[in-house]
Every structure is written in C-alpha cells, then in structure tokens.
Amino acid sequence: MTVRIGLIGPGGMGQAHIARITNVLFGGKVVAVCDLDLTRAKAVAEPLGATVYSEGATLIGAEEVDAIMVTSFGPAHEESVLAAIEAGKPVFCEKPLAPTAAACLRIMAAEEKAGRRLVQVGFMRRYDQSYRQMKAVLDSGEIGEPLMVHCVHRNPTVAQTYTADMSINDTAIHEVDTMRWLLDEEFVTARVDRPKKTRNRFPHLQDPLILILESESGVRVDDEIFVNIQYGYDIRCEAVAETGTVSLADQNKIERRDSHGHHNEVATSHIDRFDGAFTTELQSWIRSVEIGEASGPSSWDGYAAAVVCDAGVKALMGDGGTVAIEMIDRPAFYSNDASVVVG
Ligand code: ISE
C-alpha cells in the first residue's frame, strides 16, 4: 500500500519532508499540497503531480488523501490537527503541536473522543541514533542514576521575525522533549539565566540564554540556547550520572588535516545535523499509518512540552525567579505511548 499524503504548509520544513518522502523513503507519496500562497503551493505540487488546495479543510476531507502532514506556522497547527482527527485521518504535526498548553489539551480531548491515537508530533531527536544510544546507556543503569544534563543548542542565525519567546518555545522545546524522553520523567520548575548578550543580530532577543529545568526526582538540566552563534549548527549533550557520563559524540562528517591544522566540519542547519533522525522519523510515521498503529511522540508529549515551555517563557520574561511547572496527570488514554520506532 502507498500512503497518500496531503501536506499543509509547504515552507522550508514542509519542502524538506516532501523531498525526503519522494526521494528517500518508501511507502508514501505526497498527492496533495495546501498553502494560502497558491503560487508556492503550485510550484511545490507540480513536479510531484500533486493536487493543489487553498483550504486545509478541503485537503483533509479529500478522498484521495489517506494521511495529513502539518508543517504550517505553529499557531495554525491546531485547526488542521483537529480537522484531521475529526476526519479520522492520521496526522503528523511538526513541533510545536500548538503554541499553548490549552490548545494541546483541546487536541488531546478530540483524539480521546476519536478513541484512537492519530497524532504524531515532529520531535525528531528521539529518532537520532546518538540520543538513542545515550538513552540506552542511561536505561541500562550501568553508570547509575542521571543527576545532571548539560545541553547546548546553537543556531548560526535566525530571521528578524524570530521573537524573544521563540528561544524557548521554538528552539529549547527540542531539549524539553528530548530530556523528558531521555530521563523518563517530568519537569517541575524552570528558571532562565541571562548571560551577556551577543552584539550580533537582534537587541530584542536575550541571546544567549540558559534555561534551567529541574525534574521530579531532582535531575538538573541546563540548556544553553544561542541562536546567532554565526559559525554553524551545534548540538551537544552530556548526561552526568553517579558513576559515569554519557554524551553525544562530535557529529562531524569529516576531519581534515593539512598545513593549516586539523579541521572538522560543523553542521549548518537542523536539516543537515538531524538528517538521519528525520529519515527514521518519517519512515516510522509512514509505516505506522500503513499498519494503523500510531507511535512516536504523542499529543501528550506535545502538551507536556508546551507546559514546560510556557513556564520557561514566563521565567524569561520575569525577574529571574524560579517558575513552577504544573501539568495535568497523564491521561490513561496516553499511558501506553511507546517511545519505540516502528518499522
Ligand atoms: C527550528 O524551528 C528548529 O526546529 C530547529 O531544530 C531549531 O534548532 C531552531 O532553533 C528552530 O527555530
């Protein structure tokens, strides 16, 4: 069976997903594309022979579409995801599931009413080989209990439209999800430290910043977010446990030695750095649609990340104090969420 996919919002991420589905993955085909900008929708759809839609609801209802991908602007996600659930169609939604916890709760309520999991959220780091190996080491217990995790998330630069809160709810949200998954527990407090600001790029940003999270059992996670570091896309993570540490190894693809010295390549973007993770993530989603069994990050994960990010944004905008994170108990409907990769 070929899963016939309708994609809403063919911006940079959407186009990268389309290229991957078309050129790399098996079992899926993009048959419909929707964008308010019809010129862009046509430019993306034509080479695929896909149908162009200007209304998300019409694409979602189309008989030719089996499953939906939502890669539009975050605030537009809720409407599309709710419509897909209403139509009983599986939906892959890029992060964030929705920008507020309240919107994520509405999605969870709709999915629960539908009676089966239909939503997978695009937290691709769970599919990254190195993070998966880190998790296997921690889960084995061989280096004891994790006590601290030091994370670094650096982007070369961001657009002028990137607002101050996005350092948390668009960028740090990846560590929020990955750390919940890695440690298998929730966070209870958030705090933000504000180092000296870079002179590069925008005064409206606190760049860099350090988000500090504490988990239920007291594990301390610090996350350096620096979105205008200039030199490349650099992701680091070290977990410190009772009798050892485990960290992401350098992701460089080549090492060069010459008369100028010893150089490594640095990734340039998330699409580059997480290439393998995106491939596994989307292949896994297509497979889950084929077999009718949703897996991977769920609406609950989307909600939990949104709650932590809301607290992080409050801490960033506040006076430097610690903000309590309060979330609902995990509903039984989501208790069997597997962090497994299908296929
Ligand atoms: C972007 O939306 C992503 O998802 C990237 O992974 C992240 O590094 C970047 O900061 C975000 O803006």
**107 lies in the same domain as 151:** no
**200 lies in the same domain as 243:** yes
The model's pLDDT over 244-294, given as tens digits with 9 standing for 90+, comes to: 999 999 877 788 999 999 988 899 999 999 999 999 999 999 999 999 999
Distance from Cα 19 to the centre of ligand 1, integer Å? 19
Ligand 1 atom 10: the closest Cα is on which residue?
171
> Which of 13, 72, 169, 174 for a ligand 1 pocket mutation test, highest count of atoms within 8 Å of Cβ?
174
Residue finishing a domain among 96, 122, 148 = 122
**18 lies in the same domain as 101:** yes
**38 lies in the same domain as 112:** yes
**43 lies in the same domain as 140:** no
Ligand 1 atom 7: the closest Cα is on which residue?
171
| Mean pLDDT within 128-149 | 98
Judge whether residue 340 has pLDDT over 70. no
Q: How far apart are CA 94 and CA 302, in angstroms?
A: 10
Query: Is residue 188, in this structure, part of any structural domain at all?
Result: yes
Ligand 1 atom 11: the closest Cα is on which residue?
171
**211 lies in the same domain as 169:** yes
**114 lies in the same domain as 130:** no
CATH of the domain at 198: 3.30.360.10
Token output for 26: 């098996």
Average predicted confidence (pLDDT) for the chain:
95
CATH of the domain at 72: 3.40.50.720
Distance from Cα 174 to the centre of ligand 1, integer Å? 8
Query: Is residue 38, in this structure, part of any structural domain at all?
Result: yes
The model's pLDDT over 24-53, given as tens digits with 9 standing for 90+, comes to: 999 999 999 999 999 999 999 999 999 999
Distance from Cα 170 to the centre of ligand 1, integer Å? 6
**145 lies in the same domain as 35:** no
Distance from Cα 158 to the centre of ligand 1, integer Å? 9
Judge whether residue 339 has pLDDT over 80. no
Residue finishing a domain among 122, 150, 184 = 122
Judge whether residue 338 has pLDDT over 60. no
Q: Are residues 39 and 54 in contact, defined by beta-carbon separation less than 8 angstroms?
A: no
Distance from Cα 14 to the centre of ligand 1, integer Å? 14
Query: Is residue 31, in this structure, part of any structural domain at all?
Result: yes
> Given the CA of residue 171, which atom of ligand 1 is nearest to it?
10
Question: In the prediction, which pLDDT does 343 show?
Answer: 43
Ligand 1 atom 6: the closest Cα is on which residue?
270
Phi and psi at residue 230, to the nearest 5°: 75, -45
Domain count, the chain: 2
Domain that holds residue 147: 126-271+305-324
Ligand 1 atom 3: the closest Cα is on which residue?
171
**56 lies in the same domain as 29:** yes
State the SS3 of the chain: CCEEEEEECCCHHHHHHHHHHHHCCCCEEEEEEECCCHHHHHHHHHHHCCEEECCHHHHHHCCCCCEEEECCCHHHHHHHHHHHHHCCCCEEEECCCCCCHHHHHHHHHHHHHHCCCCEEEECHHHHCHHHHHHHHHHHHCCCCCEEEEEEEEECCCCCCCCCCCHHHHHHHHHHHHHHHHHHCCCEEEEEEECCCCCCCCCCCCCCCEEEEEEECCCCEEEEEEECCCCCCCEEEEEEEECCCEEECCCCCCCEEEECCEEEECCCCCHHHHCHHHHHHHHHHHHHHHHHCCCCCCCHHHHHHHHHHHHHHHHHHHCCCCCEECCCCCCCHHHCCCCCCCCC
Query: Is residue 300, in this structure, part of any structural domain at all?
Result: no
**38 lies in the same domain as 171:** no
Instruction: Mean pLDDT check: name the lowest of 7-21, 139-153, 193-207, 326-340.
Output: 326-340
**141 lies in the same domain as 239:** yes
Query: Is residue 235, in this structure, part of any structural domain at all?
Result: yes
Ligand 1 is surrounded, with C-beta below 6 A, by 155, 170-171, 174, 227, 270
Q: Which residue has the higher pLDDT, 343 or 223?
A: 223
Query: Is residue 284, in this structure, part of any structural domain at all?
Result: no
Distance from Cα 173 to the centre of ligand 1, integer Å? 9
